[in-house]
């Protein structure tokens, strides 16, 4: 550590561990109280100090418990107000998700990142902490007919890699290929196969869920990846959204959706081989797509806002009510 890091660490130890006052710390170091305040802020901002707040017995615990029981996952429900803006809700969820991801990172971790608006926001809230020998690999392609997608995905991967001191591996393919046979040909290329091999070794995967409609448009549906004809086809096939650009229905099915033969991201089956799969979701309009992802067993860890959690559980309860007697 440099001199400032060392001073900040000592100040944080006295204040947080030894429970001394700011005035006592200032007297010890012969500095002003304002200087101590700045040192403590620096310690928090740089990760020297990591503050966690235990869950209180509240509605979010009740919602999280129901999600865990229904889907066999670990869930963190972030309380949000219905009056807050979609952007504000996303920021709250993203902060919690950043902390959850930090807790999963350990030396040698291969982290798979699928781009999206919620994951982008989450990457901005990571507290810098070096994770030796870690690698960040892009899980799904980002190019479309109008742009390469590299600046967009590059910003996300760079943000995460800088936070953890990781190596970056890009995946230079389109989000959706124009033809399924083109994808098959690309998948035989050595340069692409090397990335696919690394993806198969991912320890932690992070992704959001895209929704066809909503106040905060999912990037894949608002940035020229699909045309009107594609949207018509998806509507007829009952598609509600996607994970890692793999399209799915609310019931969790995805295998027979024709466009998935052209999608570049890992399927739910491929994701299921990853030990930890962190799904980050903000916005009630994504509840249907999230339900599809959970039913496809693509998720082990979920960070979701309380409004979406309630809608998701209501959907699950309604589906059970509609099941015929004796159905399992």
Kindly report, residue by residue over 255-290, the tens digit of the pLDDT.
999 999 999 999 999 999 999 999 999 999 999 999
The secondary element (H helix, E strand) that includes residue 6 is helix 3-12
- Per-position DSSP letters for 147-159, written without gaps between them: --SHHHHHHHHHH
Q: Are 206 and 101 in contact (CB under 8 A)?
A: yes
Q: Please name every residue paired with 249 in a beta bridge, in sequence order, or none if there are none.
A: 239
Which residues are CB-neighbours of 165 under 8 A, at least 6 positions away?
130, 131, 132, 134
- Tell me the domains of the chain and their CATH numbers: 3-45 (1.10.10), 59-322 (3.40.50.1360)
Q: Which residue has the tokens 């200087």?
A: 35
pLDDT tens profile 47-77: 888 776 554 555 558 899 999 999 999 999 9
Q: For the chain, list the strands marked E by DSSP.
A: 74-78, 110-113, 135-138, 167-169, 204-207, 210-211, 239-243, 246-249, 276-281, 301-305
Predicted pLDDT at 145: 54
pLDDT tens-digit readout, 105-153: 999 999 999 998 899 999 999 988 999 999 999 999 987 656 655 667 8
CA distances from 247 to 262, 294, 325 (A): 10, 13, 31
- Cβ-contact 174, 144 below 8 angstroms: yes
Q: pLDDT higher for 11 or 48?
A: 11
Task: Kindly state the DSSP code that residue 174 receives in the 8-state scheme.
Answer: B
Whole-prediction pTM: 0.80
Q: What is the mean pLDDT of the chain?
A: 88
């Amino acid at each position: 550590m440099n001199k400032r890091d060392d001073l900040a660490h000592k100040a944080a130890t006295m204040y947080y561990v030894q429970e001394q006052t700011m005035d006592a710390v200032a007297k010890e170091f012969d500095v002003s109280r304002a200087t101590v305040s700045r040192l403590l802020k620096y310690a928090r901002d740089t990760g020297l100090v990591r503050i966690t707040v235990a869950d209180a017995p509240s509605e979010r615990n009740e919602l999280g418990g129901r999600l865990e029981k229904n889907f066999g996952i670990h869930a963190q429900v972030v309380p949000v107000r219905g009056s807050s803006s979609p952007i504000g809700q996303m920021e709250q969820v993203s902060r919690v998700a950043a902390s959850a991801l930090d807790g999963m990172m350990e030396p040698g971790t291969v982290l798979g990142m699928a781009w999206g608006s919620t994951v982008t926001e989450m990457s901005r809230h990571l507290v810098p902490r070096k994770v030796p020998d870690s690698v960040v690999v892009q899980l799904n392609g980002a190019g479309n007919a109008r742009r390469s997608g590299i600046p967009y995905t590059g910003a996300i991967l760079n943000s995460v890699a800088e936070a953890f001191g990781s190596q970056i591996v890009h995946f230079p393919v389109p989000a959706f290929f124009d033809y399924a046979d083109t994808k098959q040909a690309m998948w035989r290329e050595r340069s692409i196969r090397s990335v696919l091999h690394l993806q198969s070794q991912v320890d932690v995967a992070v992704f959001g869920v895209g929704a066809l409609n909503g106040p905060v448009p999912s990037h894949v549906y608002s940035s020229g990846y699909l045309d009107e004809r594609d949207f018509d086809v998806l509507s007829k096939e009952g598609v509600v959204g996607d994970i890692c650009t793999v399209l799915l229905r609310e019931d969790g099915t995805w295998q027979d959706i024709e466009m998935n033969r052209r999608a570049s991201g890992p399927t739910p089956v491929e994701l299921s081989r990853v030990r930890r799969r962190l799904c980050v979701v903000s916005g009630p309009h994504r509840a249907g797509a999230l339900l599809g992802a959970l039913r496809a067993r693509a998720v082990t860890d979920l960070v979701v806002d309380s409004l979406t959690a309630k809608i998701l559980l209501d959907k699950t309860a309604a589906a059970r009510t509609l099941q015929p007697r004796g159905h399992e």
